[in-house]
Structure 1
Amino acid sequence: MHNLLKNLQIKVHEKTYVKDPETSDLGKRIVQNSIKLIDEIGFEAFTFKKLGTKISSNESSIYRYFENKHKLLLYLTSWYWAWMEYQIVIHTFSIANPKEKLQKIIELITAKTEMDSDFSHINEKLLNKIVIGEYSKSFLTKEVDIENKKGLFSIYKRLVSRIKEAIVAVNPEYLYPTSLASTLIEGSLHQHFLSDHFPTLTDCENDTTPTEFYSNLISNVLKK
């Protein structure tokens, strides 16, 4: 199963880009180095001019792939959620027990990401840091409803749906599976952010991890 999935290409919604960056070496360098640069200086300070300097290419060449930096952020975060779904499929396809399957999903969603050698041009560890710190900027905009109708958040919504199905498999009588699924994802990002920047506002530090917190929370919530 893993060998088969290893050869699959992660697909991101085509409306996040002008030209698919996966189709050329330059496109892959744009994605690879945008992750590094956003991690270094933050999304607010990030510009295509600075990225062009980093990759020794004209700023105009980047616009051939992405309309603006907001669309680039949508691409990066969508890629991350598609990759997360990929991880869930790989690591749960052979788990028959619903509780064990949901627990593995919780572990995958809440853990700090390490490198994944299947995608050499993308540093998933740095991308995970960007998602923790910058993901909300991809949808807290005036255009969110328009972009949602265009399907730009379809991968994220599909991930939520997959987690919801795992929750329902554990307890079909639970009334709020979608809310719990989205809370797991968003809450995990928030707890990691608090742990990194406001440690007095969370118990998820030192010996307690977001994985332990959400495992405990969801286990108690889904008790029949």
Structure 2
Amino acid sequence: MTEQDEAESASRRNETRDIILNVAKELVARKGPKSTTVRDITNASGANTAAVNYYFQSKDALVRLATQEITGDVNRERLARLNDMEMKSADKVLQPRQILEALIEPILTMSRSVDGGSLYVRNVFQMRVDARAGYDNFNINSHAARRFIQAMQRTFPTLSLAEIVWNYEFARGASVHMLANLDPVSRRFEHLMIEPNEDLPAEPCFRLDEAAVQKVIDMILAGFCKSV
């Protein structure tokens, strides 16, 4: 086999691996890690069970990697934005809006589904639905949470750690819940705006975009750390 043949073969292997992983991300985010089966993955990817085991050793290992990448992409961007803001602010503490923008805006840009939804938001909801699924997503994300809690402690020095943690979880939870209502799968905001027997319009009225993210941030700011 020539070097070119080897390179083309390696490229095909990488492409197959990427296809399987991307399909797994979509399925895990929609169905949850426990409900996603090998058959689901092979049917959607066109690969066979042997390929899943060859590239990822097992379904559990593939699902765990898919979950880590979905959340990891968002959290890396969150931390990059937070670090950049802190570096540019020098000795000044961050403003509440800056912290919320670093926390929430990456949901808009990272880990998006092929249908326009957020894999991250869907995955968070699935992990909440079945917290016993065996995939400890909370420990995976704890480093990012601690960094934001530290930033909030500098911005709100009069608050106790417990109050900071409550406010952090309020901001994170509210943003995920509100943005989930924009998901093209649920379209909950639109369901609440029509009569029970009325059909939704073919095209969604609301989308997960910059305007929606800023609206969510504005609403969260209204109650963010008001015990100061």
- TM-score, normalising length from structure 2? 0.62
State the 1:140 CA deviation.
3.9
Structure 1 counterpart of 2:223? 217
Tell whether the 8 Å contact from 1:99 to 1:170 is kept in structure 2 after alignment. Answer: yes
Max Rg structure: 2
Separation in 2, partners of 1:142, 1:87: 25
The alpha-carbon distance between structure 1 residues 77 and 178, as it changes in their structure 2 partners (threshold 3 A), is: farther
Q: Identity, % of aligned pairs?
A: 9
Structure 1 counterpart of 2:157? 172
Separation in 2, partners of 1:161, 1:90: 14
Tell whether the 8 Å contact from 1:37 to 1:51 is kept in structure 2 after alignment. Answer: yes
1:103 aligns with 2:88: no
Tell whether the 8 Å contact from 2:24 to 2:41 is kept in structure 1 after alignment. Answer: yes
Superposed CA RMSD: 3.6
Structure 1 counterpart of 2:127? 138
1:155 aligns with 2:143: no
Separation in 2, partners of 1:142, 1:86: 23
1:87 aligns with 2:77: yes
Match of 1:192 among 164, 179, 191: 179
Structure 1 counterpart of 2:4? none
Q: Deviations over 1:150-189 (max 9, x none)?
A: xx53231222111111110111221311122122222211
State the 1:73 CA deviation.
4.8
State the 1:191 CA deviation.
1.0
Separation in 2, partners of 1:142, 1:182: 17
Tell whether the 8 Å contact from 2:26 to 2:113 is kept in structure 1 after alignment. Answer: yes
| Structure 2 portions without partners, runs of 5+ | 1-12, 194-205
Separation in 1, partners of 2:72, 2:216: 21
The alpha-carbon distance between structure 1 residues 141 and 33, as it changes in their structure 2 partners (threshold 3 A), is: closer
Match of 1:52 among 20, 37, 42: 42
The alpha-carbon distance between structure 1 residues 183 and 68, as it changes in their structure 2 partners (threshold 3 A), is: farther
Tell whether the 8 Å contact from 1:29 to 1:55 is kept in structure 2 after alignment. Answer: yes
Separation in 1, partners of 2:129, 2:135: 11
- Tell me the number of residue pairs that the alignment of Structure 1 and Structure 2 aligns: 182
Choose 173-182 or 75-84, whichever is displaced more: 75-84
Tell whether the 8 Å contact from 2:153 to 2:164 is kept in structure 1 after alignment. Answer: yes
Structure 1 counterpart of 2:8? none
Q: Secondary structure at the match of 1:143?
A: coil
Separation in 1, partners of 2:108, 2:121: 11
Deviation beyond 4 Å, 4+ runs, structure 1: 36-39, 71-74, 204-208
Separation in 2, partners of 1:91, 1:62: 35
Q: Deviations over 1:104-149 (max 9, x none)?
A: 331233235236xxxxxxxx221862222342322543636x754x
| Structure 1 portions without partners, runs of 5+ | 1-22, 116-123
- TM-score, normalising length from structure 1? 0.63
